[in-house]
Copies of this chain bind each other. A is one copy, B any other.
Amino acid sequence: MPPSHSRQRSPLQEFQLIDTLHRRYGRTGPRVVRGIGDDAAVVTALKGHEWVVTTDLVTEGVHFDLTTATCEEIGYKAAVANLSDIAAMGAKPDYLLVSMASPTSRTAADIERLYRGIMRACRPYGVELIGGDTSASLQGLFVNIVLIGSVPAGRALTRDGAQAGHLIYVTGTLGDSLAGLNLLSGRRSLKGSFGAMTRPDQGLVRRHLRPTPRLEIGYTLSTQRLATAAIDLSDGLSGDLRHVCAQSHVGADIDADALPISPALRGYAQRHRIDPLELALQGGEDYELLFTIAPRHRLTVERLGRETACKLSCIGIVRPHRSGVRLKDRSGRMRRLPLLSYRHFRPMPHPRRGGR
């Protein structure tokens, strides 16, 4: 199916966009030898460091929906997904590349808003835009982000270092983003402002649209050699914990009562007669970190939480592999942790009614 002329962004438009981006975001620091506008970017390595590279592709209708989020919010969140991966490796983010395929229904202003959102998420961390690509799309908007970071050699936090007896921590609170998504999905358009929502509900929506990458805590956990394994919670605790267990060849016991649930989420769950525990286990896109530490580091880590004003909760303990991944429920009974996989941009598929 050969595309019609009108479906293609002309090379001229592409060059104009590159020029605009170059002018706006191309003010690069001393480590960028060559930024946007050549065949490739050239950057210098930091002495004694390793490079950490991640990429994340988000697509319209699968990861986001332009009726519940603006272009700027979509850009912001796509960037956070990558920043959060860098945080989970205990690294600092340095460089950014953005590829985008957009249908003709999107204007140049939409594309610029997307970039604005991306840069708004990245700039506080000094990340520099060094390249990318643009293309037409026959249907739907596609945004691929690449983030390159650095970590002192040998210190990257991987998923395979957890050992039986280690403590399992998470940052922040869990499930807020999913509740925020559910609240947004109840509305047909963004035109209706937050006015009609309670303040705690607004907070949940904000957690969905503007999550915080846990870069400071991740970097401290790696450089101070505190964590033995780490992952970011993008697909939900239930699934992401399993990745750590599988790669570390261990099991885990999670304590339902210890899961950090925000007052806003409790209120939301009560009103909608949903079990907040289920939201906390299933909810993805919280972009909190899950990490394990040897018990001797407990006090250091808890002090770190206070110093960085980042809530840290010990939610369980690593077990030998044969134990599997279990949940101690509120009555003290152990059961297999249910695998509830999070689907991006879909409201909760099975709200359990009457639970609590």
Beta-carbon contacts under 8 Å, A307-356 to B: 341, 343, 345-346
Q: Which of B97, B136, B140, B158 contacts A34 (CB 8 A)?
A: B158
Chain B residues positioned under 8 Å from A2 (CB to CB): 61, 65, 345-346
Question: For residue A346, which residue of chain B has the nearest CB?
Answer: B2
Q: How far is the CA of A43 from the CA of B230 in the complex (A)?
A: 18
Residue numbers in B under 8 Å from A138 (CB-CB): 59-62, 139-140
Which of A44-52, A116-124, A261-269 forms part of the interface with chain B? Answer: A44-52
Bound-complex Cα distance A151 to B34 (A):
13
- With contacts A63-B135, A135-B59, A139-B139 taken as known, whether A43 is within 8 angstroms of B53 at the C-beta atoms is yes
Range, interface on chain A: 35 or more
A231 at the interface (CB under 8 A from B): yes
Interface flags, A125-139, vs B, CB<8A=1, else 0: 000001111111111
**Nearest chain B residue, comparing its CB with the CB of A97:** B55
Could you pull out 23 A-B pairs where Cβ atoms are within 8 angstroms? Answer: A2-B345, A11-B235, A33-B50, A34-B156, A38-B89, A39-B86, A39-B88, A40-B52, A42-B50, A42-B52, A42-B151, A43-B53, A45-B49, A55-B146, A57-B133, A61-B138, A63-B135, A97-B146, A99-B99, A137-B140, A138-B139, A138-B140, A148-B148
Name A343's closest neighbour in chain B (CB-CB). Answer: B8
Residues of B close to A1: CB separation below 8 A: 61, 65, 67
Q: How many copies does the complex hold?
A: 2
Is there an interface contact between B55 and A131, defined as CB atoms closer than 8 Å?
A: yes
Chain A 79-97: CB-based contact to B (< 8 A → 1; otherwise 0): 0000001101101000101
| B-chain residues with CB within 8 Å of residue A134 when the two chains form the complex | 57
Partner among B53, B62, B101, B343 whose Cβ is within 8 Å of the Cβ of A95: B53
A50 touches B43 (CB 8 A): yes
When the two chains form their complex, are residues B11 and A239 in contact, meaning their CB atoms are under 8 A apart? Answer: yes
Most chain B beta-carbon neighbours within 10 Å: one of A49, A136, A148, A247: A148
The answer to whether A142 has its CB under 8 Å from any CB of chain B is: yes
Q: Are A38 and B158 in contact (CB-based, < 8 A)?
A: yes
- Please judge, given known A-B contacts A40-B149, A99-B55, whether A11 and B341 are in contact too, CB under 8 Å: yes
**Contact between A153 and B101, CB atoms less than 8 A apart:** no
> Which residues of chain B have C-beta atoms less than 8 A from A273's C-beta?
none
Which residues of chain B are near A341, meaning CB under 8 Å? 10-12
- On chain B, the residues within 8 Å of A52 by CB distance are 40-42
CB proximity of A148 to chain B, nearest CB, Å? 7
Residues of B within 8 A of A345 (CB): 2-3
CA distance A88 to B40 in the complex (A): 8
Contact bitstring A259-287, B, C-beta under 8 A = 1, else 0: 00000000000000000000000000000
A212 at the interface (CB under 8 A from B): no
* CB pair A3 B61 closer than 8 Å: yes
A165 at the interface (CB under 8 A from B): no
Separation of A11 and B139 alpha carbons in the complex (Å): 23
Query: What CA separation (Å) do A56 and B37 show in the bound complex?
Result: 13
Shortest distance from the beta carbon of A244 to any chain B beta carbon, whole Å? 10
| CB <8 Å contact, A55 and B132 | yes
* Contacting pair A51 B51 (CB below 8 A): yes
Does A225 sit within 8 A of B, measured CB to CB?
no
* A209 CB within 8 Å of chain B: no
For A103, the closest partner residue in chain B by CB is B139
A187 on the B face (CB < 8 A) = no
How far is B132's CA from A88's CA once the two chains are assembled, in angstroms? 16
